[in-house]
Each structure stands twice: as structure tokens, then as C-alpha cells.
Amino acid sequence: MTGTAKNWKLVVAYDGTDFHGWQMQPGLRTIQGELQEALGRVTGEAPLPQGSGRTDTGVHALAQVASFVLEAKIPAENLVLALNRTLPEAIRVVSAAQVPEGFHARHSTVAKTYEYRIFLERSRDGKNGTELSRLICPPFLARYVYPFPWPLDLDALKEAARHFLGTHNFLSFAATDPDLATRGTEAAVEDEDGVPQKNAVRTIFGSEWHRQETPDGPVLIYRVCGNGFLHHMVRNIVGTMLDAGRGYAPASTIPAMIAAQARSAAGPTAPARGLFLHSVEYGD
Amino acid sequence: MTGTAKNWKLVVAYDGTDFHGWQMQPGLRTIQGELQEALGRVTGEAPLPQGSGRTDTGVHALAQVASFVLEAKIPAENLVLALNRTLPEAIRVVSAAQVPEGFHARHSTVAKTYEYRIFLERSRDGKNGTELSRLICPPFLARYVYPFPWPLDLDALKEAARHFLGTHNFLSFAATDPDLATRGTEAAVEDEDGVPQKNAVRTIFGSEWHRQETPDGPVLIYRVCGNGFLHHMVRNIVGTMLDAGRGYAPASTIPAMIAAQARSAAGPTAPARGLFLHSVEYGD
């Protein structure tokens, strides 16, 4: 960074449906690529914004954080307005701020929170499950929820969520990379940025379900906060909890799934479109 | 209709963003075209579903009604499930029912209700308008609202809405077709289905604004119910009310705009994406 260059922190919301995830890829529409191009149009510079972590295709963000260095002198409010004028509406810059030189959106992360949203096509509470209209996921929600086709027991989901609290080895909930797997179990796990991890131990600070009414019907929301996540970890935890919620595998078996430290011991991967990066915490 | 054929009424919700409106057009993705193809895949027949009226590109529906005749014997619930399995998720069949032979989705209409949704990028109530985050339309709302860039006075909107109640000649609020216009004022107006109308007199039963909280921020919603609407009529009424709400043309001038019976006397056309066909009433 030269003497005049400034380090920036951007908070960004996006609808991930029509993008190939966060990370720039040649010839594909990505959030990182769109942001870099927009910065280029606005400032004449095109630094590659570093995200707090990658998000996969179809995953959304309420408040992704990105950092980059700019030579241009531009007031923060003007940068926000100018970027939003040129970005597609599916990507919105929520705020921009100059930050100390040492700040890095990924390396400085202290905790991250994800949300997973489910539309209940059938519920166990009362007769709703027999009403045909309850079977239909409204088109205005379809991009932002997993329309779940089986009845779900909210109490079982809540019990399942509690088993993930605390510090565990999450190998059973990490996407396995076939290339890495041939080199042995220890290297077969990646973090959200595709970096091979020697260890899969992470701490979960919060893990809970709640039901929220929306103009288009009730949605079940899972919120999980941790000091870090492995690739696909939230979606694998959700898929496992949904097995418990529908009575397919009791919540009480989850500690054994964790202890097994094997992907095959846990449940399926929930679809990307229900997942939102909710917020990223820094030590500031 | 042969002796065995049945008349059907379908209620359909759709996100109009990625379609070229309701009406079938060769080579373009339309709601009517998608429904006809889905009926063909499910029943082997492909009747053209008749809608309660056209909706333009980008306009949504919470409960559009379509009618058609089928030879196939299929329980209503199975028809709904089978259609939803093959339709794109942006189009959902909410219900299906066999109806008497005389029912026609358009001709049998008694009243229609539309909604128009606005995201307030700046509001007049309090200091919110100065908060940068209030300027950002969340990407999860952007397809379904008009993000309005000026402060709006809800009381002025409510006053404006009252002026449209009752029976009026709505020529000032009808899209003008340049081809028809050359043949004289009387024929220069179309209904929602592009049918030239000798008269533009319509009765508005309800016309009101309310503010609704959503998980992504407050939205202003206009709901209007009438015995019929001319092409672009709701969007022209909304554009005119927004002029009043932002203090550009007082609500008290609306009666004179109506009396002028000239499109140039009224306000601009509000964008399609904020408009929802809310419901269609029949005499049943």
C-alpha cells in the first residue's frame, strides 16, 4: 500500500441465484467479478475485493464483507451510491468505510453467522398439512428458501441444533474433495475458501431454529454462529437436522455422527438456495 | 365442449420478472405459453388457458385465474401437483377446480384487485431518510417493488387514492395506442386485453394505501379494486399518486386530471415490477 492508498471495508447484500458464487471465474458471472468491474467503472482502479469467505452458487448474503485498497479519494457515501448505480440490482452495497491498513475481510474474521430458511410444504402442527394451498411454495419465496416436502417437527429440529453447540471436530460435516481424499483423511477437508485444512475442529457459539411469519407464509429459520466453517458445513448440518425433524434419524444420534468423523456418518447436503451469509464479526 | 369434456378454473401465482407477460407470443417465454405446455405434458391435451386478463412483462400475480376445457379425467389435487412438478418454480398453480360450462376466466369477471408495492428509499417520517442504509433496496425485494428514490408523504398518497373512488371516465389513465389514436380519441383506448374500448368509464370500489413491515424493511402497498381496468391504468394511477406523494403535483389536482380525459393531463407510468394482480372476483 502506498502512502496515499486507503484500505476499504464494504458490506454487500446479494441474491446469489443468478451468479456462479462469490469467487471470480473467467467467463462466469460471479459476485467478486461484478464488484471488481464496478469498482473499475467507478474509480478507474480494479482491485480484487477479498471476501470474508466464498459463497457457493445460489447462496445469498445479507451482509458479506469485502476489503480492498484504493488510491482514489472518494467519500464513503459517494462510493456506495456510485457502486449501486452501476451494479446489477441483485448486488447491493450496504455500506463502505475506510479501515486501518491491517484489516482483511477474511483474515480478520472473529465469527460468522449463517441463516438457513425453509418453507414448510407440510407441517405437523394441526391440519395445515392437508390443505392443498400449503403445499405450494409461493414463487416470491422460491429463490430464497428450501421448500421442504415432508412434515417437520420444530421441537426435534431445536433438539438437533443443540448438539452442534460447542467445540467439535466437524469432519463428518465437511465436503470431501475427491482429489484431496486420495492423499489421506487429514488433508481431505477444506475451509470455505478451498484451503486444505489439517484440522476440522471448529467452535459453534449459537445454533437455533425459530419460526417467522412472512407476507408469503411461515418460514423456519436456522441461525448458526461459529468461529469458522468448513466447505458445505452449514448445509450438511442442516441436512442432518432435517433428517431428525422429519423423524428419519433421531436427534439423539447426532453426537455419534459427530464422533464418527466421517462424512458418510451424517445426513445429506441441504440445497444452496436456502442459505444466507447473515453477518461477519470482527474484533472491532 | 363434448359430453365428456370438463371446464376447469385454475388459480395461478407467478413471478413475472423473467417472462414476457401473460399472453402467448411465438418464441418468447410467457405465462400462458408455459401453462399450455405444462397442460400438454400432464394431460396430452394442450388447451390455451384463457386468463382473467393480460399482465405485462414484469408484472406479478398472487392469484391470476385461467379457464380451459379438458377431456382428461384427473382429480383436481393431482392436476395441481402434476402441473407444479413440471412448471418452472416462478409459476405455481395454487388451486384447480371443475366449474360449470358457462364459466370463462375473463368474461365472467365481476371485479379485479391489484396491488402496487413501493420500497421507500427515503421517507419523510423522521430521520430515516438520512441513513444511508435506508437508501438501499434489498436485493431480495428488488424484483417485487418499485424502489422509490424520493421522500413520500403517506397522507398525501392516501388523499390522492380517495379521488379515484367511484365511477369515472379514465381516459387520462389509459395507455394510448399510436395506431388507434390516429383514428380518433374514442377508439384510442384499450382494455387490458388490447381490445379497443368505445368508453373508458370504470368503477373503482376500493383505493387505499397502507404501510407493511417485511423482513427486508417497510413497504408501501396500494390496493385498488374495480369492475375493470384499461391497459396501464393501475400503473398510470400509481405514477400520478406518486407525484402527489412527493409534493410535485398536489392530490387536489387529481379531479381535474380525471376530468381532462387526456393522457397528457395525468402523471407518469409506474414501473411494471411493483404491480401484482392480487385477486379476481366472480359472481359465485
Contact A33, A47 (CB under 8 A): no
Write out chain A residues lying below 8 Å of B215, CB-based.
Answer: 212, 214
pLDDT value of residue B216: 72
Question: Cβ contact (<8 Å) for B89 and A142?
Answer: yes
Q: Which of B73, B1, B22 is nearest to B231 (CA)?
A: B22
Torsion of CA A43, B131, A60, A187, to 10 degrees: 70
Q: Record the cell numbers describing residue A22, joined without a space.
A: 462469490
Angle at B36 between CA B32 and CA B42, to 5 degrees: 145
Tens-place pLDDT, residues B63-77: 999 999 999 999 999
Q: Residue B177: which pLDDT band, with cuts at 50, 70 and 90?
A: low
Write out chain B residues lying below 8 Å of A15, CB-based.
Answer: 139-140, 142
Provide the ipTM.
Answer: 0.75
CATH of domain B6-107: 3.30.70.580
Question: Cβ contact (<8 Å) for B80 and A132?
Answer: yes
Tens-place pLDDT, residues B6-51: 999 999 999 999 999 999 999 999 999 999 999 999 999 999 999 9
Write out chain B residues lying below 8 Å of A13, CB-based.
Answer: 136, 138-140
pLDDT value of residue B266: 96
Question: Cβ contact (<8 Å) for B139 and A80?
Answer: no
Contact B227, B203 (CB under 8 A): yes
Write out chain B residues lying below 8 Å of A60, CB-based.
Answer: 139-140
Tens-place pLDDT, residues B147-176: 998 889 999 999 999 999 999 999 999 987
Write out chain B residues lying below 8 Å of A94, CB-based.
Answer: 133, 136
pLDDT value of residue B250: 95
Contact B9, B65 (CB under 8 A): yes
Helices (H), B102-223: 154-162, 178-181
Q: Which of B14, B80, B142 sits opposite A139 (nearest CB)?
A: B14
Tell me the nearest-neighbour CA distance from B186 into chain A, angstroms: 39
pLDDT value of residue A227: 96
Q: Residue A187: which pLDDT band, with cuts at 50, 70 and 90?
A: very low
To the nearest whole number, what is the mean pLDDT of chain B?
A: 89
Annotated active-site residue B193? The verdict is no
How many helices (H) and strands (E) are present in chain A, helices listed first? 6, 10
Taking CA atoms, B101 is separated from B94, B249, B277, in Å, by 21, 49, 25
Question: Cβ contact (<8 Å) for B144 and A140?
Answer: yes
Q: Is the pLDDT of residue B185 over 70?
A: no
Q: Record the cell numbers describing residue B108, joined without a space.
A: 365472467
For residues A171-195, average pLDDT: 69
Q: What is the rounded CA–CA span in Å between residue A93 and residue A64?
A: 10
For residues B114-135, average pLDDT: 64
CB-based contact (8 Å) between B213 and chain A? no
**Residue A216 or residue A143, greater confidence:** A143
Tell me the nearest-neighbour CA distance from A200 into chain B, angstroms: 33
Q: Residue A179: which pLDDT band, with cuts at 50, 70 and 90?
A: low
**Residue B47 or residue B177, greater confidence:** B47
pLDDT value of residue A214: 74
Q: Which of B27, B20, B24, B44 is nearest to B35 (CA)?
A: B24
Residue A19 DSSP symbol: S
pLDDT value of residue B132: 47
Tell me the nearest-neighbour CA distance from B157 into chain A, angstroms: 22
**Residue A187 or residue B19, greater confidence:** B19
Q: Residue A197: which pLDDT band, with cuts at 50, 70 and 90?
A: confident
**Residue A188 or residue A59, greater confidence:** A59
CB-based contact (8 Å) between B13 and chain A? yes
Cite the residue boundaries of each domain of chain B with CATH code 3.30.70.660.
Answer: 110-282
- Residues with Cβ within 8 Å of B45's Cβ and at least 6 positions away in sequence, in order, are B39, B70, B71, B72
pTM: 0.84
| Class of the CATH-defined domain B110-282 | alpha beta
CB-based contact (8 Å) between B70 and chain A? no
> Diameter of chain A by CA atoms?
67
**Shortest CA distance from B91: residue in chain A:** A139
Tens-place pLDDT, residues B206-216: 999 999 877 67
Q: For the beta carbon of residue B159, count every other beta carbon within 10 angstroms.
A: 18
Decide: helix, strand or coil at residue A236.
helix
Q: What is the rounded CA–CA span in Å between residue B3 and residue B103?
A: 16
pLDDT value of residue B186: 47
Q: Record the cell numbers describing residue B27, joined without a space.
A: 418464441
Tens-place pLDDT, residues B235-248: 999 999 999 999 99
DSSP string covering A63-119: EEEEEEEE-S---HHHHHHHHHHHS-TTEEEEEEEEE-TT--TTTTEEEEEEEEEEE
Write out chain A residues lying below 8 Å of B60, CB-based.
Answer: 139-140
Tens-place pLDDT, residues A68-89: 999 999 999 999 999 999 999 9
Q: Residue A2: which pLDDT band, with cuts at 50, 70 and 90?
A: low
Taking CA atoms, B90 is separated from A65, B35, B195, in Å, by 30, 12, 28
Annotated active-site positions of A, please? 56
Taking CA atoms, A162 is separated from A151, A173, A226, A251, in Å, by 21, 16, 13, 9
Q: What is the rounded CA–CA span in Å between residue B47 and residue B69?
A: 7
CB-based contact (8 Å) between B135 and chain A? yes
**Shortest CA distance from B139: residue in chain A:** A90
Buried b (16+ CB within 10 A) or exposed e, B54-74: bbbebbbbbbbbbbbebeeeb
CB-based contact (8 Å) between A1 and chain B? no
To the nearest whole number, what is the mean pLDDT of chain A?
A: 89
Helices (H), chain B: 31-43, 76-86, 154-162, 178-181, 233-245, 254-260
Of A15-29, A110-124, A217-231, B89-103, which range is least confident? Answer: A110-124
Write out chain B residues lying below 8 Å of A212, CB-based.
Answer: 215
CB-based contact (8 Å) between B141 and chain A? no
For residues B112-137, average pLDDT: 68
Q: For the beta carbon of residue A64, count every other beta carbon within 10 angstroms.
A: 31
* pLDDT over 70 percentage in chain A: 89
Question: Cβ contact (<8 Å) for A92 and B137?
Answer: yes
Q: Is the pLDDT of residue B233 over 60?
A: yes
Contact B10, B66 (CB under 8 A): yes
Contact A96, A84 (CB under 8 A): no
Question: Cβ contact (<8 Å) for B92 and A137?
Answer: yes
Tens-place pLDDT, residues A96-148: 999 999 999 999 999 999 999 999 876 544 444 444 455 688 898 899 999 99
Cite the residue boundaries of each domain of chain A with CATH code 3.30.70.580.
Answer: 6-107
pLDDT value of residue B134: 55
CB-based contact (8 Å) between A130 and chain B? no
Determine the residue among B92, B141, B213 to mutate to test chain A binding: the one whose Cβ has the most chain A Cβ atoms within 10 Å. B92
Contact A96, A3 (CB under 8 A): no
pLDDT value of residue B188: 62
- Residues with Cβ within 8 Å of A32's Cβ and at least 6 positions away in sequence, in order, are A22, A23, A24, A48, A49, A51, A66
- Residues with Cβ within 8 Å of B222's Cβ and at least 6 positions away in sequence, in order, are B115, B116, B117, B118, B157, B161, B207, B208, B209, B238, B241
* pLDDT over 70 percentage in chain B: 89
Q: Record the cell numbers describing residue A48, joined without a space.
A: 480484487
Please name the residue that has the C-alpha cell 433496496.
B137
Helices (H), chain A: 31-43, 76-86, 154-162, 178-181, 233-245, 254-260
Rg (alpha carbons) of chain B, rounded to whole number: 20
Question: Cβ contact (<8 Å) for B93 and A136?
Answer: yes
Q: For the beta carbon of residue A199, count every other beta carbon within 10 angstroms.
A: 10
Tell me the nearest-neighbour CA distance from B210 into chain A, angstroms: 14
